[in-house]
Structure 1
Amino acid sequence: MEIRENAALVVVDVQKGFEEEYWGRRNNPAAEENIAALIDLWQETGRPVVFVRHDSVESSRLRAGHVGNDFKDFVEERRGKGSGPELLVTKTVNSAFYGAPSLDGWLTGLDVVQIVIVGIQTNMCNETTARMGGNLGYEVVFPLDAMHTFDLEGPFGWSLDADELTRATAVSLHGGRFAEVVTTEDVVRGAGAGVR
């Protein structure tokens, strides 16, 4: 895998509200470490970084003005530290492409064709952003171990645990050719090759 020299890292909703017990059991305890490693790599190599924040309009743990709306400390302390372009996108829905300012417009202005999506939650905002990115023509890279999700109940008494949801997302995105599902290590190796 090759990560382009101007590939954008899109860091989705790594917010304190997701630390609350309300969400239930999560998976992938290594997610934060891998997200931090990729932010550091992007900033060291001058690649563009997008920080996406969900500003819920409902009475939610991610609503503006609530401590849960804030980025987790390891993300906040990295903002503004890179040598490359950086953008803050705020959104009220799942896809980062429906935020403000326009993610698509910013990426297009930088001639970015490849995006790497990390953050929270795997099967929600990450997957939705990946699907839209694929539909918009971006090469979407989805390092599955740089994100996490939570157990979830659905219709008909069905429920899936976080690992099952993660596998379903990976199969759907990769098999459906919306994204290339990889590991953080794959991305790190590919970024060293850095192609234009």
Structure 2
Amino acid sequence: MEPLLPTNTALLIIDVQQGLDAPQWGKRNNPDAEANIARLLQAWRKARRPVIHIQHCSVHPDSPLRPELPGCEFKAEAKPIEGEPIFKKSVNSAFIGTGLEAFLGNNGIEQLVMVGLTTDHCVSSTTRMAGNLGFVTLLVSDATATFDRKGPDGKLYPAETIHAVHLASLNDEFCEVVTTEALMQAVPQKHSTTDQD
């Protein structure tokens, strides 16, 4: 990663929604993901860099992420503020069925920082497409998380294993995997005389 990120590097916050706290998802790794996302979000806002929110609006009848349910709402750590665009999707990739790619092109955004849920589903799918579409993509390892997964043979794979394997698969092929701390050092903060940053 370069010492400083281009000023138009966008923070893409994927599916940080209340419904992903539902017990039905099972055991999760990285309980600090939301706190790290909040740190990055604050840094991006203070530096006046672009922030983009992705919201999963599920069409599955059993999902807590259906748009008419409270679970579809954003978590407190990642609530959009006025002026931050929200792209709603119903599949894994934030580029499918949304205006995200056109928005990025129209705003001259060529570099993306990916955070959110879950590492192996929506974060991975969006990261893969971003890389294929030619965006310089950074994926933040400690600002993402996932759940235990059961394989087709019935074997249970721990969330930490799923998380690590997907990061390894994505790194150097679709993105560069980085940490929250590295990014905090790469985003110089603008100082303001007000508390309204």
* TM-score above 0.5: yes
Ranges in structure 1 where 5+ consecutive residues have no aligned partner: none
Q: Distance in 1 between matches of 2:53 and 2:94?
A: 10
| Alignment match, 1:93 | 91
Deviations along 1:112-162, one digit per CA (max 9) or x if unpaired, are 111000011011100000000000000110011001110000112233111
Contact 2:47 2:188 in 1 (8 A): no
**Deviations along 1:69-98, whole A, 9 cap, x unmatched?**
11112222xx226xxx62100000000111
- TM-score, normalised to structure 1, is 0.91
Q: 2:29 touches 2:147 (CA, 8 Å); kept in 1?
A: yes
1:23-102 to 2 correspondences below 5 Å: 23-59=25-61, 60-76=63-79, 79-80=80-81, 86-100=84-98, 102=99
Cα deviations across residues 143-186 of structure 1 (Å, max 9, x unaligned)? Answer: 110011100001122331111011111110014x1000010011
Identity %: 40
Shift of 1:13: 0.3
Q: Deviations over 1:3-36 (max 9, x none)?
A: 2110010000000001111111001011011000
RMSD: 1.6
The amino acid that maps onto 2:181 is: E
What's 2:164 paired with?
Answer: 167
Counterpart amino acid of residue 6 in structure 1: N
Task: Name the TM-score, length of structure 2 as normaliser.
Answer: 0.91
2:37, 2:77 within 8 Å by CA — same for their partners in 1? no
Which residues of 2 match residues 46-195 of structure 1 at below 5 A? 46-59=48-61, 60-76=63-79, 79-80=80-81, 86-100=84-98, 102-175=99-172, 177-192=173-188
More helix by share: 1
Aligned length: 187
* Moved segments of 4+, more than 2 Å: none
Where do 5+ consecutive residues of structure 2 fail to align? 190-197
Cα separation, 2, equivalents of 1:69 and 1:181? 28
